[in-house]
């Protein structure tokens, strides 16, 4: 893990000057003559993301110019995340203020990420002296958590099956002294029948990961993450094009582990529990079938409308277990529906809750952290769409409408009415690179949820 931030004196760091098209003239006037002439010769225009290194009086690197959007309300707060890939080796500082200094500093750290497990990717040898008043420890915590989520999602399923996901969770639990256990085999089949049903066709056994941390006297916060390490769709087989990034289908688990890392590292005053149903949805002679009926841990019978709607099944048993512990707040995250992406695209995950105050807090932190989330309704008239003629509930109603909402309503059936519950239908993936967000696995929602928990339980 690279060191994102430097404790060197600011006077020894190379200054980065931010400019927009409208401020470039005044910024240029502040430069020494040699640097100003160099910028003019290179036709620097302060376009967003444009970067130019300038010589100092001794001919060595003296300044960096970096372009930003003119309109702060339409600017990408993470634009500075492009800097690590553009800068030569060294230590830098912000010489003037970007639109949001804290988010720009975080973006610098997030933009330092590289995934090099299978192809050599040298780390960017750059660091930033944080602006005065910026909590570098907090931003490091967020960047390290994001790197954990990205690494887990980017790892292909041959190296990130249920067992390896459990190993990663145990390593995190051990790092912070959490109590860890894993339920598998006959106990899983008996106690968590939906998790077992989804994973039983794989040669890699399904399991439920369960760890707890913190003072038992503190408020109980339970995190549940979808850990489908690869999703073929089961017997309702996905087309090959839809399988290409299904290594990301454990993105809920990866983001929950990232969130747990931040909570434990910050020593929030909570009793934390993390539950991850880890499975592979495979095709074999013993695979679960459309129209099969299973009795869930909660006792509700579930008819299988579609084997490719498996994430809500494994989460249902985990949510039931979570509610048995009577948590103060229950948060689940999963890469659940294509319908969420059709509605809101890959960058804006929907979230659901019946607690209006909680929803307002989530939305506020999502805006402040540039970690977008958008509330969708638990629209009760659609609940009847989940009806089954032979069981208590069907996991995938026909019709194709409101798929993310009906998924949330399905999961709500397994959450006790008195439990404060927050559900996020994330994508967990950046389809094409953006500032501070490289193409590949992504940490979505976890920073916003962490700030929510920090505010309430810090």
In angstroms, the CA 281 to CA 308 distance is 8
The verdict on whether 114 is a catalytic residue reads no
- Of 243, 90, 229, the C-alpha closest to 166 is 229
- Of 169, 363, 391, the C-alpha closest to 301 is 391
CA distances from 302 to 135, 241, 274, 355, 423 (A): 48, 29, 25, 27, 20
- Of 4, 264, 251, the C-alpha closest to 149 is 251
What does 404-445 look like in DSSP terms, one character per residue?
HHHHHHHHHTTS-TTS-EEEEE---EESS-BTTB-SEE---S
Two tokens, residue 192: 């968590």
Strands (E) located in 301-419? 301-303, 329-334, 350-352, 374-375, 393-394
The verdict on whether 86 is a catalytic residue reads no
- Using DSSP's 3-state secondary structure scheme, residue 53 falls into strand
In angstroms, the CA 225 to CA 221 distance is 13
Q: How far is CA 235 from the centre of its chain?
A: 29
In angstroms, the CA 392 to CA 302 distance is 6
- Four-CA torsion 194, 195, 196, 199, nearest 10 degrees: 120
Query: Is the distance from CB of 305 to CB of 397 less than 8 angstroms?
Result: yes
Catalytic residue among 312, 341, 413, 451: 312
Catalytic residue among 47, 114, 204, 238: 238
Q: Classify the C-alpha dihedral 331-335-336-338 as positive or negative.
A: positive
Residues forming beta bridges with residue 334, ordered by sequence position: 425
- Of 4, 317, 302, 297, the C-alpha closest to 146 is 4
In angstroms, the CA 309 to CA 316 distance is 12
In angstroms, the CA 44 to CA 63 distance is 13
Query: Is the distance from CB of 75 to CB of 46 less than 8 angstroms?
Result: no
In angstroms, the CA 315 to CA 427 distance is 16
In angstroms, the CA 276 to CA 333 distance is 10
Query: Is the distance from CB of 162 to CB of 250 less than 8 angstroms?
Result: no
Query: Is the distance from CB of 188 to CB of 310 less than 8 angstroms?
Result: no
Q: Which residues contact 122 (CB under 8 A, 6 or more apart)?
A: 114, 116
Residues with catalytic roles = 238, 312
């Amino acid at each position: 893990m690279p060191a994102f931030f430097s404790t060197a004196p600011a006077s020894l760091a190379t200054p980065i000057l931010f400019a927009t098209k409208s401020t470039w003239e005044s910024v240029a006037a502040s430069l020494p003559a040699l640097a100003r002439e160099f910028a003019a010769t290179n036709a620097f225009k302060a376009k967003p993301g444009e970067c130019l290194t300038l010589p100092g009086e001794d001919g060595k690197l003296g300044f960096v110019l970096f372009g930003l959007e003119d309109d702060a309300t339409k600017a990408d707060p993470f634009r500075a995340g492009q800097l690590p890939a553009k800068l030569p080796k060294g230590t830098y500082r912000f010489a003037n203020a970007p639109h949001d200094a804290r988010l720009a500093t975080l973006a610098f750290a997030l933009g330092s990420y590289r995934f090099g497990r299978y192809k050599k990717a040298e780390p960017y040898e750059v660091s930033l002296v944080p602006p005065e008043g910026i909590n570098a420890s907090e931003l490091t915590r967020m960047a390290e958590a994001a790197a954990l989520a990205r690494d887990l999602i980017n790892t292909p399923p041959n190296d990130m099956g249920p067992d390896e996901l459990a190993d990663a969770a145990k390593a995190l639990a051990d790092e912070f002294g959490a109590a860890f256990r894993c339920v598998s085999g006959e106990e899983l089949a008996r106690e968590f029948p939906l998790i077992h049903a989804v994973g039983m066709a794989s040669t890699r056994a399904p399991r439920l990961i369960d760890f707890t941390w913190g003072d038992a006297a503190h408020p109980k916060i339970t995190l549940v993450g979808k850990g489908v390490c690869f999703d073929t769709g089961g017997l309702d087989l996905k087309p090959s094009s839809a399988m290409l990034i299904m290594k990301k289908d454990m993105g809920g688990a990866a983001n929950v582990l990232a969130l747990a890392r931040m909570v434990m590292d910050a020593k929030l005053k909570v009793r934390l529990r993390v539950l991850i149903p880890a499975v592979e949805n495979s095709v074999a002679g013993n695979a679960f079938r459309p129209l099969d009926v299973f009795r869930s841990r909660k006792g509700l019978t579930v008819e299988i409308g579609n084997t490719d709607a498996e994430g809500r099944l494994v989460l249902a048993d985990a949510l039931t277990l979570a509610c048995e512990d009577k948590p103060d707040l229950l948060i689940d995250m999963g890469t659940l529906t294509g319908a969420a992406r059709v509605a809101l695209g890959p960058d804006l995950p929907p979230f659901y809750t019946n607690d209006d105050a909680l929803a307002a807090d989530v939305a506020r932190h999502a805006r402040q952290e540039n970690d977008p989330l958008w509330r969708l309704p638990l629209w009760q008239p659609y609940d009847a769409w989940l009806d089954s003629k032979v069981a208590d509930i069907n996991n995938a109603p026909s019709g194709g409408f409101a798929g993310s909402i009906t998924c949330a309503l399905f999961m709500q059936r397994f959450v006790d009415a008195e439990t404060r519950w927050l559900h996020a239908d994330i994508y967990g993936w950046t389809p094409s690179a953006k500032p501070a967000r490289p193409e590949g696995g992504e940490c979505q929602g976890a920073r916003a949820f962490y700030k929510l928990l920090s505010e309430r339980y810090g």
